């Protein structure tokens, strides 16, 4: 199942590469890397330099890990859907209208899953899942600690102890990262603009 999803996202990524030739600044990593530059004219402290290095590394890991593919809403362009830079990692939009799901389309010998146009909403044998708001807003991950993020990715359970995280969230792929890399990834999530967006709870299968 997840292989199929990654292939689908691969197609997306190809679109992104093709369009990148026409539109160089479509790289979310570059944007994120620019964000944490120290404001003061004085030389940044060693700690500040380490922190901004971690954020830049986390931004690359997020791009490589496809976090934006599912967690960032898209804007439609002539080159196809592109990440909405104004709402990086805001998750499935609370205002979105979920299209009706045709009955009998998903099954062992049929389609594995359906996704909304922007890949933030998913329907499969597990029901309907909505990509979480990963921004440091109260409706996102503001209350999470790095340790809780690491435990969530390692166990596949909400905050390491709650409900099982549903597909297509590839937590088991993220879990192969070291603690240091996961901390860098979390530092990057902390660095993006907080967006107020209350993502709906998943809907169990009928």
Q: Which residues lie near ligand HEC (CB under 6 A)?
A: 5, 62, 65-67, 69-71, 122, 129-132, 134, 152, 158, 165-166, 168-170, 174, 185, 202
| Closer residue to ligand HEC in complex, CB, 51/62 | 62
| Closer residue to ligand HEC in complex, CB, 44/146 | 146
| Closer residue to ligand HEC in complex, CB, 20/177 | 177
Nearest-Å Rg of the Cα atoms of the chain is: 17
Torsion of CA 96, 202, 174, 3, to 10 degrees: -80
Backbone angles phi, psi at 111, to 5 degrees: -80, 150
| Closer residue to ligand HEC in complex, CB, 5/51 | 5
The strand ranges marked E within the chain are 74-77, 80-83, 114-115, 121-124, 127-130
Quote the least distance from Cβ 48 to ligand HEC, whole Å. 24
Quote the least distance from Cβ 117 to ligand HEC, whole Å. 14
Q: Are 186 and 145 in contact (CB under 8 A)?
A: no
| Closer residue to ligand HEC in complex, CB, 51/89 | 89
Quote the least distance from Cβ 104 to ligand HEC, whole Å. 23
- Which DSSP helix (H) or strand (E) runs through 150? helix 146-155
Quote the least distance from Cβ 171 to ligand HEC, whole Å. 7
* The pair of three-digit structure tokens given for residue 147, joined into one six-digit string: 């340790």
Quote the least distance from Cβ 179 to ligand HEC, whole Å. 14
Cis ω for the linkage preceding 168 (within 30 of 0)? yes
Query: Rounded to an integer, what distance in angstroms lies between the CA atom of residue 89 and that of residue 154?
Result: 20
């Amino acid at each position: 199942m997840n292989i199929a999803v990654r292939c689908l996202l691969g197609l997306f990524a190809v679109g992104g590469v093709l369009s990148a030739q026409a539109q160089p600044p479509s790289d979310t990593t570059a944007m994120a890397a620019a964000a944490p530059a120290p404001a003061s004219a004085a030389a940044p402290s060693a700690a500040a330099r380490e922190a901004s290095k971690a954020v830049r590394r986390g931004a690359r890991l997020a791009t490589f890990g496809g976090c934006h593919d599912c967690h960032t809403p898209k804007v439609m362009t002539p080159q196809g859907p592109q990440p909405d830079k104004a709402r990086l990692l805001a998750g499935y939009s609370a205002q979105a209208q979920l299209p009706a799901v045709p009955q009998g389309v998903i099954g062992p010998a049929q389609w594995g899953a359906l996704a909304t146009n922007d890949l933030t909403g998913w329907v499969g044998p597990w029901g309907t899942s909505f990509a979480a708001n990963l921004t440091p807003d109260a409706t996102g991950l503001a209350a999470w600690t790095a340790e809780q993020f690491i435990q969530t990715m390692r166990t596949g359970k909400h905050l390491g102890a709650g409900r099982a995280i549903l597909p297509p969230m590839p937590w088991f792929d993220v879990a192969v990262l070291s603690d240091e890399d996961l901390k860098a990834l979390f530092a990057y999530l902390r660095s993006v603009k907080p967006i107020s967006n209350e993502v709906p709870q998943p809907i169990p299968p009928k």
